[in-house]
């Protein structure tokens, strides 16, 4: 249980580092009119910003420039409160949310609102920040090669692959993709550290093949960064 708590605290610290805090954001109070909101959006250059309550602590939703312009083009009253066109009012995460909750909540949004431990507005997490975090965890900038290896989903496959690779080198990172219920085919991606040479890579691949694992792709990260 202590290990889980430590991991959770570590992830929260990482999340806080990549979240853009409220102090650095353009926000709109819920008391603003649509006309005022449009002026703020135009001045900021953003297509969407968070709307907060009068205290600036509670998240009410997002306001999009396109929705205001659509309302205006149809002869809508621009003196109506901004709350008339709020979107994504229930689209937010907590600062201590699980990674998968974050990943799947943000996918259809320009950013995801983040609430603190007291459910008050903390800031936003953008797509680019999340992708940068994944890139760093995958060691793309410091790795040498990424091996894509197929697994039938058999018990122990990941352990066997890891054991083979660690005969030659440490593993910089590992991620699994594409587990399908019909055929159980899974792609395991191993990032090897920067010191792995082409000669050592060939030995690793040959050993995996001898143990009946299929290496479908080898990406040279050095070449990708050139």
> Collapsing DSSP states into helix, strand and coil, what is residue 80?
coil
% of the chain beyond a pLDDT of 90? 62
Which range scores top for mean pLDDT: 9-18, 46-55, 97-106, 180-189?
46-55
Local confidence band at 181 (pLDDT 50, 70, 90 cut-offs) = low
Mean per-residue pLDDT over the chain, rounded: 87
In this predicted structure, what is the pLDDT of residue 9?
59
Q: Using an 8 Å Cβ cutoff, are 93 and 120 in contact?
A: no
| CATH 3.30.70.260 in the chain, residue ranges | 141-220
Angstrom distance (rounded) from CA 168 to CA 165: 6
Q: What is the mean pLDDT of residues 197-225?
A: 90
| CATH 3.10.580.10 in the chain, residue ranges | 2-133
Instruction: Tell which CATH classification among 3.40.190.10, 3.10.580.10, 3.40.710.10, 3.30.230.10 matches the domain 2-133.
Output: 3.10.580.10
Angstrom distance (rounded) from CA 129 to CA 17: 10
CA distances from 189 to 202, 215, 219 (A): 16, 10, 10
Q: Where are the beta strands (DSSP E) in the chain?
A: 20-21, 28-29, 48-52, 59-64, 92-94, 111-115, 121-126, 143-151, 173-177, 186-193, 214-220
> Collapsing DSSP states into helix, strand and coil, what is residue 31?
coil
Local confidence band at 7 (pLDDT 50, 70, 90 cut-offs) = very low
pTM higher than the cut 0.75: no
Q: What is the mean pLDDT of residues 171-192?
A: 78
Q: 188 pLDDT exceeds 80?
A: yes
Angstrom distance (rounded) from CA 224 to CA 203: 22
> pLDDT digit string (tens) for 54-102?
999 999 999 999 999 999 999 999 999 999 999 999 999 998 887 777 8
Superfamily holding 141-220: ACT domain (3.30.70.260)
């Amino acid at each position: 249980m202590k290990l889980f708590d430590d991991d959770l605290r570590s992830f929260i610290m990482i999340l806080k580092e990549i979240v853009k805090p409220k102090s650095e954001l353009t926000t709109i109070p819920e008391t603003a009119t649509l006309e005022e909101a449009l002026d703020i959006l135009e001045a900021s250059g953003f297509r969407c910003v968070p709307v907060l309550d009068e205290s600036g602590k509670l998240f009410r939703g997002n306001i999009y420039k396109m929705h205001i312009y659509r309302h205006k083009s149809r002869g809508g009253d621009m003196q109506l409160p901004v709350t008339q066109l709020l979107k994504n009012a229930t689209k937010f995460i907590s600062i201590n949310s699980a990674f998968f909750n974050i990943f799947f909540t943000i996918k259809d949004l320009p950013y995801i609102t983040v609430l603190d431990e007291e459910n008050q507005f903390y800031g936003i997490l953008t797509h680019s920040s999340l992708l940068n975090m994944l890139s760093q965890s995958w060691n793309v900038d410091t790795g040498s090669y990424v091996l894509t290896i197929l697994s039938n989903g058999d018990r122990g496959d990941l352990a066997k692959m890891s054991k083979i690779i660690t005969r030659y080198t440490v593993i910089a990172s590992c991620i699994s993709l594409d587990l399908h219920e019909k055929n159980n085919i899974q792609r395991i991606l191993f990032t090897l550290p920067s010191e792995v040479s082409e000669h050592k890579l060939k030995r690793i691949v040959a050993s995996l093949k001898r143990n009946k694992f299929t290496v479908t792709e080898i990406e040279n990260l050095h070449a990708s960064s050139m």
